[in-house]
Amino acid sequence: MSSDRLRTPEVEALLRALLTLENEEEAYSLLQDLCTIREIKDMGQRLAVASMLAAGEHYTDIQEATGASTTTISRVSRSLNYGADGYRRVIDRMGESAPKEGE
C-alpha cells in the first residue's frame, strides 16, 4: 500500500490520537473503542510473529506458538524485510521479544 494513499486527514488524526496515550490502560481503552476484539488479537498475533521472525524462528515453530497461518507469517515476513521498518523499530524499542500469543 502506498504511504500516500494511507496519509489521509483521518489517519493523521488517528496517529496524533495514538501519540497522546500515556499508558497501557489508555491504549487498551482506545483499541477497544476503535477495533473489534478479533482485530486487536490479530494485530497482537502479527507483532508476535514479527518478533519471532526477527529472532530467527522458523515458520513451523511460529505457526505452532502463535496459531498464525503460513499466509500471515509470510505477509509479516515481507513487511519485516521490505516494509516501512515499523515492526523492526517497535521490536528494537521494546528491547525484548513481543510476547507470544497466549503469554
Stated pTM of the model: 0.84
For the chain, the first-to-last Cα distance in angstroms comes to: 31
Residue 93, CA atoms < 13 Å, CB-side half-sphere: 7
- Mean pLDDT to the nearest integer, 91-103: 66
Give the SS3 label for residue 100: coil
Angle between helices 59-66 and 37-54 (to 10 degrees): 150
Query: Do residues 52 and 97 touch, judged by C-beta distance below 8 A?
Result: yes
Query: Do residues 45 and 100 touch, judged by C-beta distance below 8 A?
Result: no
Q: Which percentage of the chain shows pLDDT scores above 90?
A: 85
pLDDT digits (tens, 9 = 90+) for 24-50: 999 999 999 999 999 999 999 999 999
- Mean pLDDT to the nearest integer, 43-70: 97
Q: Compute the distance between CA of residue 41 and CA of residue 48 in angstroms, rounded to an integer.
A: 10
Q: Which three cell numbers stand for residue 15?
A: 496517529
User: Which domains, from first to last, does the chain contain?
Assistant: 1-34 (no CATH), 36-103 (1.10.1270.10)
